[in-house]
Amino acid sequence: MAADGIGKRHYNRHTMKTHFRHLFAAVLCAAAFTAPVAAADWNGPQEPFALFGNTYYVGTAGLSSVLITSKAGHILVDGATPQAPAQIAQHIRQLGFRVEDIRYILSSHEHFDHAGGIAELQKLSGATVLASPEALKVLRTGQPDKGDAQYTGSDDSLPPMTPVARLRAVRDGEVITLGPLAVTAHYTPGHTRGGTSWTWRASEKGRTVDVVYADSLNAVAADGKRFDGNPGYPHARADIERSMAMVAGLKCDVLVSAHPEFSGLWERKAKQQALGNAAFIDGNACKAYVGAARERLQKRLETDAISTTAK
């Protein structure tokens, strides 16, 4: 959706006859992959917490934002919605760090629920914002990509954002360095044209792990629009399939996805008290994240095929 387009549907199965229940369930499954559905708890409160080493979760209950720290300055990944910066800034200070010490803000993709807060966070920190060239087109103007399958022309689909200052494009595979920090950009288009995932290493108690901040890999379209065969972004399917393969092949010990629930972050967080930060280590996490995304893509393609047949 302007996020990942997956919403919950509740209905009372006990009041339906079996054949109608199955039909209704199929309809609901298809609907879950069409119109963008805004989650009510995207901006919900969430205490910040350590992930591993110098890496911290500072996002909201439904939208990830990750801080990577060093004595030379900090790097922040994503800014969530326009309503989120105050909470993110509070989280950073709560952990004992200064917002003003953020030198770079990295963008995963150019939708309002991940980039809508970047302009305010850039203003608070003075940081330079880094994103892919395609994402920069949206961040610079604040206007959504009209070719996006979620774009309907209504602010309810992809709302405009405050334009972002101090932007710089990153190349695919470019390594962003800041003191001891080294963060690599990986283009992962498909959900949007400008999608980017980010990787780095973090160390703690003599152990070093590979951390992945994975962009959204969900194939989503607004009601009445197609994901596959969308004339505004005709190669979206090919892009997202390549992005899935790339993320599945990354060195991946600790995974955070743009929407934290899609990568099982809260399940791992629940084990942190017992296991410490080792609770976030899962060498299969990226592959599982991609596997679930591939299943959603298949359902989206089936929905697109039905809509084509119906015309």
Q: What is the pLDDT of residue 204?
A: 97
What would the pLDDT profile of 199-208 be if each residue is shown by its tens digit?
999 999 999 9
Q: What is the pLDDT of residue 53?
A: 98
What is d(CA 2, CA 109) in angstroms, rounded to the nearest whole number? 10
**Residues of 258-271 as b/e, b for ≥16 C-beta within 10 angstroms?**
bbbbbbbbeebbee
Q: What's the distance, Cα to Cα, between the start and end of the chain in Å?
A: 24
Q: What is the pLDDT of residue 3?
A: 52
Phi, psi of 246 (to 5 degrees): -65, -45
pLDDT band at residue 7 under the 50/70/90 scheme: very low
Question: Order of strands across the sheet with 128-131?
Answer: 49-52, 55-57, 66-68, 74-77, 102-106, 128-131, 167-169
Q: C-alpha angle with apex 198: 177 to 62, nearest 5 degrees?
A: 125
Whether 106 contacts 198, CB under 8 Å = yes
299 secondary structure, DSSP code? H
pLDDT band at residue 310 under the 50/70/90 scheme: low
pLDDT band at residue 307 under the 50/70/90 scheme: low
Q: What is the pLDDT of residue 36?
A: 32
Tell me the pTM: 0.87
What is d(CA 49, CA 272) in angstroms, rounded to the nearest whole number? 10
Mean pLDDT highest for which of 11-20, 72-81, 151-160? 72-81
What superfamily does domain 42-310 belong to in CATH?
Ribonuclease Z/Hydroxyacylglutathione hydrolase-like (3.60.15.10)
What is d(CA 63, CA 61) in angstroms, rounded to the nearest whole number? 6
Where do the domains of the chain lie? Answer: 42-310
What is d(CA 167, CA 156) in angstroms, rounded to the nearest whole number? 26
